Amino acid sequence: MPAIAKKKPTIVLQRTRHPLPESNRSEVVRALQPIQTGSIELYLQLKNAHWNVRGHAFGSLHALFDATANEVLEFVDNLAERMAIVGGEPLSTVQKLASVPQLADAPLGMKNQDEFIKLIVDRISYFAGMVRDSLSTIERNNDPVTTDACLRGLASIEKKLWMIESHLQSKA
């Protein structure tokens, strides 16, 4: 299980004329923060796999891990901007992000492609579940724009999950 303890940071909203009520904006930001942290952690684990994977499928996995990392990075950028739009403050320092980790760290010394595939499939699957869990809070707080941003990112991430997981299933 890739999850670790979830410490929730304090939510401080900026003054804004955004039409969503403050209590709703606060809940939306609270729902987005674990996704933001988890996506940055996922991005780094994907880059680790991209840089260190070895095996007969090196070329395709190297490219796939990199493409997936770039999609995760685009997703986190969209989420962080959305947090700022509704008055939240995206976590933007290593220290702040490290204080609220969401995913277990990847073990050192991994090189084997099958180990990396299994690890990345596990991490992406868990992360997709985090996004799905947060969606109910966002929807309950009447923020269809943030819901849409999360759904678009989730669709992209789940497609990459399928593509990476397919490397395991071909050996069955």
Check whether 122 has a pLDDT greater than 50: yes
101 — pLDDT class (breaks 50, 70, 90): confident
- Listed range (21-25, 88-92, 116-120) with the worst mean pLDDT: 88-92
Average of per-residue pLDDT values in the chain: 91
Three-state secondary structure string covering 94-151? HHHHHCCCCECCCCCCCCEHHHHHHHHHHHHHHHHHHHHHHHHHHHHCCCHHHHHHHH
Render pLDDT for 16-70 as a digit per residue (tens, 0 to 9).
999 999 999 999 999 999 999 999 999 999 999 999 999 999 999 999 999 999 9
**CATH 3.40.50.800, domain 22-169, yes or no:** no
Q: Which pTM does this prediction carry?
A: 0.91
Q: How far apart are the first and last CA of the chain?
A: 23
Question: What are the residue boundaries of the structural domains of the chain, listed by start?
Answer: 22-169
